[in-house]
A and B are shown apart, each in its own frame.
Chain A
Amino acid sequence: MARKTTKTGSKASKRTTRTATARKTTTRKTVARKTTVRKTATRKTAARKTTARRTAARKTSVRKTAARKTTARKTVARKTVTRKTAAKAANRRAAGKARTAKRTTARPARAKKVKDIDPITLQVIGGALHTAAKEMGHVLYRMSFSSIIRESEDLGAGLFDADFNTLSESDSTPLHIGSIPGYLQGIQDTLQDGEWYEGDIVIHNHPYHGASHSPDILIAIPIFWEGEIVGFSANTAHHIDIGSATPGLIIDIPDVFAEGMLFAGIKLYRKGVRNEGLWKFMGNNSRMATMLRDDIEAQVASARLGVERFKDLIRQYGLATLQAACNQLMDYTERMMRQQIRKIPDGVYHSEGWLDDDGRNRGKRLRVKVAVIVKGDNVTVDLTGSADQVPTGYNVPFEGSTKVAVFCCFRSLLLDQAMSEVYIPQNQGSFRPIKVIAPKGSIFNPKFPAAAEARFTQCQRVIDCIIEALAPVLPERVTAGNSASLSFIAYAGLRPSGDYWVFLEVNEGSYGARATSDGPDSIDNLMCNTRNNPLEDLGMHLPMVCERYELRDDVMPGAGKHRGGIGVVKAQRVLTAGSITHECDRHTDVPKGIFGGAAGAVGKVQQYNFKTPGDVKDLPAKFSGVDIDADDVIAFYGPCGGGYGDPLERPAEQVLDDVLDDFCTIDQALNAYGVVITNAMQIDKPATSARRAEMGKVAAE
C-alpha cells in the first residue's frame, strides 16, 4: 500500500521516506523526533534531517522494544513528544514554513503487520467513521446557542489520525472541512505543557498557527488508547464574538491582535480538570460571553462523542485493523481524485479577477491571479501574481484557508457529489494530489502580524478563477461565473440593560449556469453552505425586523442557453440604534458568462431609513463599524451568475416560462434571447424566428 504523495516541497521528501520504509516506520517516528530535537540548532536541510531520523529511529526502536510494557517506557514516550514539540516550533521558526509533523501512531509491539483490509470490512469501517462525524456535527449545532452555529451550521467536525490526517468529516460548511489538520499541526507547535495528557481538551484559534481564521475556534481531544495517542476528535465553530475590535466581524483593523482573543495550544481541560481560570477569562473578553462559553461547551460535548465513537471502533476491530482501514480509505479517495485529474489534458490554465478593495483604501482593486498546472495525476494551483498582503484584516491565512479553498474547489469540480452515483469518503486522500503555491507576503499568504480574519471572499474568487481557467477542458463540469463572494454581516447594539446584542447573518449568493441546467438562484455559493436564520425567529428575539427577502428584480442574471442564478435581496431594519460591519465583495467585477453566455450582475448594498425610503445611500461592499439609527434599513443585493452557451439556443418556451415566473423581463426576452412575447403573454413565433435570425447574423459578424 504505497502512498504516493505530493505536497509542498520538503514535505514530499519526508513522505517519500516514510513510504519507503512502509509501516514499520510508524513506531520509529516517535523516537526520530527525539533526535530531531537535539539536532535542531544545527540542522539546516531537509535531507540531513531525514538521515538523522532514520539512524535514530533504528537505534531507539531497539531500546523501545526492551522497555515495552513498562511505565518507564511511557515516560520516555511523553518526553519525546515534549522535546519534539519544542523542536518543531524552533524548526518552524528557523525554516519559516509549515511542515507536517508526525505523531506516534501505535505502540511498537502492537504495530504488527496488517494485511490489506478486505473491501467489505473497509466499507463497514468507512461508514462508521462517517456516521460518527455526522453525529458530532449534529450534537454541536443542536446544542449551541448562537444562530451562526445553530441555524447557519457554520461549523466542522471530524475524526483524525495521529498524523492529523482527516479520516471523516461532518456534512457541514465546506471551509471548515479540511481546515482542521492545519489547526492540529498548529497545536502541536504551541501545545501547553509541550505534551498531551489523557483528559486534555485544547482550545485553539491562532491564524498564524494553522487556524482558518480567529472566530473559528477549534476544540480538540486526543484519543488515547493504552497510553498512546491514536487519533484526535475535533471540531471548529464560528463564534459570535471573541472580543474583536468591532462586534462580531472585523475588516478595517491594524493587525492580528485586534481580532480578539487568540488561543494557541491552550488546555481548556488539563488531565481531566477544567481550567476554570480560562473560562472566567473568556467571560470577560467577549461581548456575548455567555453564548460564547455555552457554545464552547457544545463543542466539548461533540468532541467527547467523537472520542467514544472512535474507541468503540478500536474495541470492535482492533487498532491495527482500524488504522490500516483508515489508510486504505484515504488511498481510495486519493485514487478517485487522481483518476479525475488524469483525465484533464496536461497544461497550464490561467485566469484572473479583481477584488473591490481592502475595506480601507477605496478604489484600489486587488488582483487574484490563478495558474492551474495539470501534470499527470497531480495539480498545482499557483497564486503568484495576486495582490500583495493588505494593511487591513482582508488577508487569507495560508494553511487554514487558502489551501482549503483550493481543496474544496477540486472536490466540487472532480468529485462532484451530484455527478457520482457512489459516495466517496471525505478524507485526507482528496487533498494529496493537490499543491498550492502563494508567495509569502501576498494576500493569500500574509506575514505575521497582519490581520487575516476577513478571508472568505478572496477564497471564493480563487475557486471561481480555477473553474474559469478549466472551463475549456472541463465544459461539462464547470459553471459560468458565480457570485463567488459572501455577504457576512454583523448587526450589534446595546440592550436597555446595557448588555450587547450581536447578530451574524450570512446572505446567499447565486451560481453561474451549467452545461445542462440553469444556475441555482439565491443559494449559498461554492465554499459557503450555511442555513439562513428564520426571519420569524429573529423578530422574536432581536430588535430587528425583515422588510424584504426575495429574488432580485432590479437586474437580470446572465442570459444564455442556460441562464445564471438570480441574486437575493434582503433588507433588514434595525429597531434601535447600533452598528454594523459587512464583509463582502463583488461590487465592481461582474460574474462572467461562458461559451457565448452573457455576464451576470454585480451586487450592491444600500442604506436608508424606514421613514424616508426615498433617501437611499449606496455603501461599499466592505465596511466596518458603521453607526446606524433606529429604523435604518440595510438592503443587500446579491450578485447574479453568468450565462452558459448562446442565449439564442434557449428554447423560446423556456424563455416564456421565465417571463411568466418573472425570472426574465419581456425586455430581456426580446433583447438578450430574441424572443418576442405578445401582450397576451404568448410567443410571437414568426417575429421570434426573424429576430433570432437577425441577432445570429449580427453575432456572426
Chain B
Amino acid sequence: MAKIGVDVGGTFTDLVLEKGPRDVYVHKVPSTPEDQSIAVLRGIHEICEVAGVKPRDIEMIVHGTTIATNITLEHNGSDVGMLTSRGFRDILHIARHKRPHNFSLQFEVPWQSKPLVRRRNRIPITERVLPPEGTIDTPLDEDEVRKGCRLFKERGIESVIICFMFSFLNSKHELRAKAIVEEEMPGVYISTSCEVVDVIREYERFSTTAMNGYVGPKTARYIRNLADKLREEGVKAELRVMQSNGGVATVDMSSERPVTILLSGPAGGVIGGRWAGALSKEKNLLTVDIGGTSADISTIPDGRIRIMNPRDTYVGDYPVLVPMIDLTTIGAGGGSIAFIDEGGAFRVGPKSAGADPGPACYGNGGTEPTVTDAQVVLGRLDVDRFLGGDLPIDADLAGRAIDDKIGSKLKMKTKAAALGIIRVINSNMALAIRANSVARGYDPRNFGLMAFGGAGPLHGVALAQEVAAKEVIIPPSPGINAAIGLLETDMQYEFTRSAPLILEGAAKKDFDRVNAAVKKLEKLCSERLSADGIPKSKQVFSRIAECRYHGQGFELRAELPKGQLNEKTKSVVIDNFHAQHKLDYGYTFGSDQVEIMTLRVIGIAKVEPLTWPKLKKAPTGRAKKKTLDEAFLYSRKTTFDDGKTVDTPRFNRDKLLAGHSLTGPAVIIQHNSTTLVPPGYRVRVSDFGNLHIAAS
C-alpha cells in the first residue's frame, strides 16, 4: 500500500510516495499549466514505476492544486448569474466603498472593472427578511426567480448564486430559491450564501459566494476529471484535495465549495514545515517557503497551524470568508528583479523574471538582474551544479546584468551591488516574517526558522539573524517539502454559524440555543467524516466561539468549554477570549461584556504520520571525520553577507550522516537546493537528516 502527495507549482509538479514506514520516494516533473492534470498523472505514473508500486496498491492520493487560484489570477472563471434582494443589487459593485489606494486618481477598482458577476446578471428579487430576529417581512416572489432563471438560460449562464440580505438569520428564502433554480436549470452549478458561508456581513458573504460560483464549474470539472482518469489508470484510492485551512477534503466537497481550496498550494508547505520540525521535536517554527517569484511565510507556535482572522482572508482583491492558514505571501524569490527607481532608491521585487526568460544567468535572454544572479556572482551557487548540473548557468551574464542595471547607477562594484540585492530582498522577507510573528504577538527568539523551497536554504541564516530566530532548520528535501506536507494533512471539515450572544446576563434559553447550534455543526462535520469512511472513534472536534467585546467590529477565536456552555462554564470562553485579545493587541478590557458572534466546529480525523527514514548514523571517533571527508566535494571562493570572500568548502548533502557537524563557512549542495552556512555558524545533522544551523 502506498500514499502519494502531489503538489503543483508554477514550474514543477512535486511528488512524494510513501511505500511503507521509512520507505519514501520523491520525484519532480515539469508542470503543465495548460492542464495541470497531465503532469500530475505523468508524475504519479513515474513515481510509481520508480517505487515499484502498482496503481491499485495506492491507498491515498493527496493533491495540492493552484487550479482555483489561477482562475482568479487570470480572471477566466464562469459567467455567473446572481439572484439578490431587491434594493441591494450592487452590494458586489460597491463593496466596502473603500478605494484600493489612498493617494491616487488613476486607480483601478477591480470589483467594478472585473466583476465576479456582471451587473446585467445581477437580478433583484422581491423578498425581505428583517433583523434582529430573521422574521419574514415580504415573502419570496417565486415568479421573479423563475423569470431570472429563464434570462440566465438565454444568456448561457452555467453558475447561479443566491445571495439574500440577512440570510444568516433565516435561510428559508435562499433555500427555496435554490430549489426553484434546480427545477428550472437542471445541472447548473448553484451556490447559496447560507450554504457557502453562513455568517453576518453581506458584502463579505456575497463576495465569498460569488467567488465560489466563479471558480466552481471549472474547478469541479478539473477535480472530477482527474479523479476519473486516475480510476481509469486503475487507481482505486479516492483523491483528496488540500484545502486552504490545512486539512484535506474529498472530491465532492472540493467541487461543491471550491472557495475552500484557493490556497491549496502554499498550505502544504506550512504543514510540511511543521512535519520537518517534528522530526527534530521542534514545535515553535517560522516557516519560510521561498520559490522563484514569491515567499510564503507562516508562524507555527507550539505545533499549532494558525488560521487567519476571517476579516483578513482575501484572494486577490476579493474577500473570501473561509478559513485559511495565516500565511503572508510576498513577491520575493530567486527570480525577483533588482532595479534603481527614479528617485535613486534600491529596489528588489516584487516583479520577477519568472521561468521565462528567468534570471540573466540562465542565458535565455534575460537582462534584468535577479536574486539568483546575485547569488551566482557571490559564488554561492556553483554554475556547474545548478539543479544537479541539469541546468548550466552563466556567471558572466549574471555579473553583466548587475553591472548594467545596478552597479553603474550606484557606482558600486559588482559584488557590492550583488550583496545589496541580497540585503534588500532579505530585509523585505524579514519584514514579512515580523508581520506574521511579532505583529501577531510571537517572539521569534523562541522560534526555529524552517527554510525550504528551492531558494529557502540560501537565505535561512540571514533571515534568522535579522528576525533573531534561535536557529535555522533545513528539512531533508527542501525542494519538495510542500508535497511532503500533503501526506501529513488531516481530514478536516469546518462549519460555521452566526449566533450572536452577549455572555453577561445570558439566560438558560440562550445557552441552549448556542449548545444546539454547536451540536448541529458537530453533526454536519461528523456526517462528512463518516461519509469519508472515518469511524466515529477517530473523529475529533474542535469547537470555537468567535468573540468580541460587545460593540467591537472584529472577532477573535476563543475555545468553547468541554461539554455544555452554561452559566458556570461561560467563564472559560471569556477567559480564552481575554487571553487572545491580550496576545493580539497587547491589551484587554477587563470588565467589558464578551459577545459570541459566530460558532465554528472543526471536525478532524488524524492521518497516520509520515514516517521518514532515519539517516544513517555517523560513526564515532576518527571514522566520523573520514565519513565527513567523503561528503566533501571541493572548495571555492564564496562571498558572505559581511562582504568577506573566503575559500569555502562544498559538501554533498546526500553523504552527510546523522551526528555529523561542521562549521561555516560551508556550502551544502543537494539536487535542487543549496544551503549557505556563513562563517561563525555551525551545522548539526539530526537523526532524520534535518540541518540545524546556529551561531557557534
What is A's interface to B at a CB cutoff of 8 Å? 118-120, 122-124, 127-128, 131, 135, 138-139, 141-147, 150-151, 153, 171-174, 177, 291, 294, 297-298, 301, 304-305, 332-333, 335-336, 339, 408, 411-413, 415-419, 421-422, 424, 426, 467, 477-479, 508, 511, 514-517, 520-524, 529-532, 534-537, 539-541, 545, 547-551, 568, 571, 660-663
Query: What are the 3 A-B residue pairs with the smallest beta carbon separation, nearest first?
Result: A539-B131, A150-B553, A661-B119
Q: Is B537 engaged at the interface, CB distance under 8 Å to the other chain?
A: no
The answer to whether A514 and B106 touch across the interface, beta carbons within 8 angstroms, is yes
Distance between A189 CB and nearest chain B CB, rounded to angstroms:
29
Report the separation of the CA atoms of residues A663 and B113 in the bound assembly, to the nearest whole angstrom.
13
Query: How far is A98 from B44 in the complex, measured between Cα atoms in Å?
Result: 74
Contacts of B96 in A (CB 8 A): 531-532
Establish whether residues B131 and A536, one from each chain, have CB atoms under 8 Å apart when the complex forms: yes
When the two chains form their complex, are residues A517 and B106 in contact, meaning their CB atoms are under 8 A apart? yes
Pairs across A and B, CB under 8 Å, 30 listed? A118-B420, A119-B420, A123-B427, A135-B439, A142-B553, A142-B584, A142-B585, A143-B585, A145-B549, A145-B552, A153-B98, A305-B586, A332-B344, A332-B345, A413-B105, A416-B104, A418-B108, A419-B104, A422-B342, A508-B94, A529-B102, A530-B98, A534-B200, A536-B168, A536-B200, A537-B201, A540-B200, A540-B500, A551-B89, A571-B87
Q: Which residue of B lies closest to A169 (CB)?
A: B102
Q: A119-B346, A521-B112, A537-B201 are in contact. Are A415 and B103 (CB under 8 A)?
A: yes
CB contacts between A and B, total, < 8 Å: 223
A418 with B101, Cβ < 8 A, contacts A120-B424, A301-B586, A332-B344 known: yes
Find chain B residues with CB under 8 A from A418 CB: 100-101, 104, 106-108
- CB of B97 within 8 Å of the partner chain: yes
B344 engages A119 (CB within 8 Å):
yes
Q: Tell me the bound Cα distance from A429 to B203 in angstroms.
A: 38
Question: Is A139 a contact partner of B586 (Cβ separation < 8 A)?
Answer: yes
* Contact present for A424 and B343 (CB under 8 Å): yes
* Distance in angstroms between the alpha carbons of A123 and B551 in the assembled complex: 39
Other-chain residue from B90, B100, B119, B345 in contact with A522 (beta carbon distance below 8 A): B90
**Contact partner, B343, options A172, A335, A515, Cβ 8 Å:** A335
Q: Is the CB of B97 within 8 A of A524?
A: yes
Q: Are B202 and A520 touching (Cβ within 8 A)?
A: no
Given the complex of chains A and B, what is the CA–CA distance between A128 and B467 in angstroms?
12
* Max chain B C-beta neighbours (<10 A), residue from A477, A534, A547: A534
Q: Is there a chain A Cβ closer than 8 Å to B132's Cβ?
A: yes
Write out the residue numbers on chain B whose beta carbons fall within 8 Å of the beta carbon of A128.
Answer: 431
Closest Cβ–Cβ distance, residue A173 to chain B (whole Å): 8
Q: Does B684 contact A (CB under 8 A)?
A: no
Indicate whether B45 reaches chain A with its CB closer than 8 angstroms. no
Chain A, residue nearest B119 (CB): A661
Complex Cα distance A493/B47, Å?
Answer: 70
Give the bracket for the number of chain B residues in contact with chain A. Answer: 35 or more
A539, closest chain B residue (CB): B131
On whether the beta carbons of B553 and A151 are closer than 8 Å, the reply is yes
1/0 per residue, CB under 8 A from A, across B317-355: the answer is 000000000000000000000000111111100010000
Which residues on B sit within 8 Å (CB–CB) of A305?
Answer: 586
Nearest B-chain residue to A508, judged by Cβ: B97
Seen from chain B, the residues whose Cβ lies within 8 Å of a Cβ on chain A are: 87-91, 93-94, 96-109, 112-113, 118-120, 130-132, 165-166, 168, 200-204, 341-347, 351, 410, 420, 423-424, 427-428, 431, 434-435, 439, 500, 549, 551-554, 581, 584-587, 589, 592
Q: Which residue of B97, B549, B584 contacts A531 across the interface (Cβ within 8 Å)?
A: B97
Known: A522-B94, A549-B87, A549-B88. A478 touches B105 (CB 8 A): yes
Q: State how many angstroms separate the Cβ of B231 from the closest Cβ of chain A.
A: 43
Contact B131 A522, beta carbon cutoff 8 Å = no
**Whose C-beta in chain A lies nearest to the C-beta of B99?**
A529
Please report the C-alpha to C-alpha distance between residue A651 and residue B82 in the assembled complex, in whole angstroms.
28
State the CA gap A426–B102 with chains docked (Å). 11
Contact A531 B94 (CB under 8 A): no
Q: Find the B residue at minimum CB distance from A145.
A: B551
Neighbouring B residues of A177 by C-beta, 8 Å: 102
Using Cβ atoms and an 8 Å threshold, which residues of chain A touch B91?
549
Give the contacting residue for B554; candidates A150, A173, A336, A661; CB below 8 A: A150
Contacting pair A417 B587 (CB below 8 A) = no
Q: A417-B101, A663-B119 are in contact. Are A143 and B552 (CB under 8 A)?
A: yes
Nearest Cβ in chain A — how far from B193, in angstroms? 11
Contact A479:B345 (CB < 8 A) given known A521-B112, A534-B200, A535-B202: no
The answer to whether B88 and A550 have CB atoms under 8 Å apart is yes
Known: A147-B553, A477-B106, A539-B131. A549 touches B410 (CB 8 A): no
Chain B nearest CB, measured from A448 CB (Å)? 31
Residues on A with C-beta less than 8 A from B435 are 131, 135
Cβ contact within 8 Å between A127 and B428? yes
- Complex contacts, B346 vs chain A, CB 8 Å: 119-120, 122-123
Query: Which of B120, B343, B427, B592 makes the CB contact (< 8 A) with A294?
Result: B592
Q: How far is the CA of A416 from the CA of B341 in the complex (A)?
A: 15
Cα-based distance from A408 to B99 in the complex (angstroms): 15
Q: Which residue on chain B has the smallest CB distance to residue A532?
A: B97
Chain A residues closer than 8 Å to B165, beta-carbon distance: 535-536
Q: Which B residues are in CB contact (< 8 Å) with A143?
A: 552, 581, 585, 587
Give the residues in chain A near B581, CB-CB below 8 Å.
143
